[in-house]
Amino acid sequence: MNFNPGDIVNFSVMVAPILFLLAVGLMLMLMDVLKAHSSMPLIAGLGLIGAGVLAVLPEKISSMQAFYGMIEVGNIAPLNIVFLCLSGVFTIFFLPDYLKRQDKPIYEVYTLLIFAIIGMIMMANASDLLITFIGLETFSIALYVFAALFKKEETSNEAGLKYFLLGAFASAFLLLGISLLYGLTGYTNLNDIAANASKLTDNPALFFTSIGLFIIGFLFKVSAFPFHNWTPDVYSGTPTPLAGFMATGSKMAAFIALGTVLIKLNFTQYDKLVNVLALAAILSMIYGNVVAVRQKNLKRLLAYSSIAHTGYVLLGLCAGKAGFVAVIFYMFIYTIMNIGAFGLVGIAERTLADTDMDKWKGLGIKAPYFAAAMSLFLFSMAGIPPFAGFMSKYQVFIAAIGSGQILLAVIGILTSVIAAFYYIYLIVIMYFGKNESPEVSPRFDWTTGLGVGLLAVLILLLGIFPSLVLQPLLQYMSGSISAVAAAF
């Protein structure tokens, strides 16, 4: 092989943020052992913002490869790096206060968060299936540690063990799928596989087995219906702000990676694959929303609602290339409102020492700002118009209808009605519930307040001007025909 150092490290938009984040992560490790704990959240947050800036700094990149084509900067890459970094930044707003009030000074969180985001960036932009797998494992291991972070607590241990064992199974499925794809074509590189698509279709049984196993691995990570069972237990045992990160950042990365692979393989031409995804979408939407109605524990409620939201995103994914922008947009909006909601539940968990819904009675009067912010996030998740959640739902439904999946869109809209019931029920409890026993009201320090304020403003802003995010997304995706473009 003709060796040229420039081929290995192509300091393009792709590699610079990863290397920068790696340096930040190493620095955080040193700060941890040198007892410079107080500035770790700040450094981690600034590092993530810096990586995001490094990603969008180059003007317009059509397509570029690094590490012998193992990582590819496709059209959407700079923005998905920014979104993944932002999900980390939002989480960091809630972490210091939460850990302090839980009296658990665990500072590895910030280091692990950075390394998890490196893994997510790698996975989301991989053009080689092995890099997809390595990226997935990199962030999964960080997430297993997050789940078992409070190592002296039983719920946290349970969450960690469940997530680890089931995650290991899912990784095995994914890897078997990758190895069968390799066996069929002789390549692990996605572009090579796509170029040899005829070899795939020569043996349809093996092809659908391999891609099916591959999809199963990802459906587990995004907790879609048949592989959702771990979600409520794990989220309720995980430290709350980190559960928010788990439900958003990792799912966003998994959806982008899955979407990239499927679109490169041009999956919409195989009806079976689309049907499998559509079935998972329908069942996730119905199951998540129906079961969430009966939940009294807020973390479990948010977990079931996250299963339902996965269904909506899968609905966009079924639309193929045209729905991909809608998928990323939906995940970004969901990241904002879900990290906000989990963060607020975390605050209540500390001060009311409970995530039980009944304890939230009368919070609307006692803690007006808290209740207002929570209502805003809940309205947005329910998809009520002035908030961003409406715009994101609208985009995926439009994408689904545009690709002829009318039935899917109808089921999606019907299940949103069920979802609106339990989201608004919580608001009713906060504002109209009678509280007999006097309780302390939720308190939070300025970082958390700043985070909540920022997320709330973003939800309102993107609800009224969704083009602030959609426009750049479409520009970066330019060249692809999008149903979203037709809507504006």
Partner 1 sequence: MVAYFGMFLIIGIAVILGVMLTGLSGIIGPKRPQEEKYMAYESGMDPVGTAQERFSVKFYMIAMLFILFDIEVVFMYPWAVQYKELLKFGWFPFLEMLTFIVILFVGYIYVYKKGGLDWD
Which CB, 9 or 450, lies closer to partner 1? 9
**Spatial contact of 234 and 226, defined as CB atoms under 8 Å apart:** no
Q: In a 10 Å sphere around its CB, with 0-12 CB exposed, 13-18 middle and 19+ buried, how is residue 438 labelled?
A: exposed
Which CB, 22 or 49, lies closer to partner 1? 22
Residues pairing with 297 in the sheet: 356
Question: 29-48: which residues touch partner 1 (CB under 8 A)?
Answer: 29-30, 32-34
CB of 8 to partner 1, least distance (A): 8
Which CB, 34 or 205, lies closer to partner 1? 34
CB of 46 to partner 1, least distance (A): 19
φ/ψ of residue 228, rounded to 5: -100, -10
**Spatial contact of 355 and 345, defined as CB atoms under 8 Å apart:** yes
Collapsing DSSP states into helix, strand and coil, what is residue 128? Answer: strand
- Taking CB under 8 A as the binding criterion, the range among 26-34, 244-252, 270-278, 279-287 that sits at the site for partner 1 is 26-34
Cα separation values, 24 from 17, 27, 107, 111, 304, Å: 10, 5, 14, 8, 34
CB of 38 to partner 1, least distance (A): 18
| Residues 114, 89: Cα–Cα separation, whole Å | 10
Assign residue 395 a region (left: φ > 0; alpha: ψ between -120 and 50; beta: otherwise). alpha
CB of 105 to partner 1, least distance (A): 14
Q: Amino acid identity, residue 356?
A: D
Which CB, 151 or 272, lies closer to partner 1? 151
CB of 29 to partner 1, least distance (A): 5
Which CB, 19 or 46, lies closer to partner 1? 19
Helices 40-56, 108-124: inter-axial angle, 10-degree rounding: 20
Which CB, 108 or 439, lies closer to partner 1? 108
CB of 148 to partner 1, least distance (A): 14
Give me the residue label for tokens 């998809």.
383
- Taking CB under 8 A as the binding criterion, the range among 23-31, 141-149, 225-233, 352-360 that sits at the site for partner 1 is 23-31
CB of 111 to partner 1, least distance (A): 9
Report the residue from 11, 12, 16, 26 that binds partner 1 according to the rule CB under 8 A: 26
| Residues 256, 135: Cα–Cα separation, whole Å | 13
Please report whether residue 446 would count as binding partner 1 according to CB under 8 A: no
Q: Amino acid identity, residue 62?
A: S
- Taking CB under 8 A as the binding criterion, the range among 21-29, 124-132, 237-245, 287-295 that sits at the site for partner 1 is 21-29
**Spatial contact of 160 and 153, defined as CB atoms under 8 Å apart:** no
Contacts of 178 (CB under 8 A, 6+ apart): 129, 130, 132, 133, 188, 210, 214
Please report whether residue 5 would count as binding partner 1 according to CB under 8 A: yes
Report the residue from 1, 3, 62, 205 that binds partner 1 according to the rule CB under 8 A: 3
Please report whether residue 428 would count as binding partner 1 according to CB under 8 A: no
CB of 207 to partner 1, least distance (A): 25
CB of 9 to partner 1, least distance (A): 8
- Taking CB under 8 A as the binding criterion, the range among 24-32, 274-282, 412-420, 464-472 that sits at the site for partner 1 is 24-32
Residues pairing with 65 in the sheet: 72
CB of 25 to partner 1, least distance (A): 9
Which CB, 29 or 460, lies closer to partner 1? 29
Which CB, 19 or 197, lies closer to partner 1? 19
The secondary structure of the chain in percent helix, strand, coil, rounded to multiples of 5, reads 75, 0, 20
- Count of chain residues binding partner 1 (CB under 8 A): 9
Q: In a 10 Å sphere around its CB, with 0-12 CB exposed, 13-18 middle and 19+ buried, how is residue 401 labelled?
A: middle
Q: How far apart are the first and last CA of the chain?
A: 49
Cα separation values, 186 from 131, 200, 368, 477, 481, Å: 16, 11, 61, 30, 31
Report the residue from 7, 12, 15, 22 that binds partner 1 according to the rule CB under 8 A: 22
Which CB, 5 or 105, lies closer to partner 1? 5
CB of 35 to partner 1, least distance (A): 9
CB of 13 to partner 1, least distance (A): 20
**Spatial contact of 225 and 283, defined as CB atoms under 8 Å apart:** yes
Helices 388-402, 368-382: inter-axial angle, 10-degree rounding: 10
- Taking CB under 8 A as the binding criterion, the range among 22-30, 90-98, 289-297, 421-429 that sits at the site for partner 1 is 22-30
Question: 219-248: which residues touch partner 1 (CB under 8 A)?
Answer: none
Judged by the rule CB under 8 A, the positions of this chain that interact with partner 1 are 3, 5, 22, 26, 29-30, 32-34
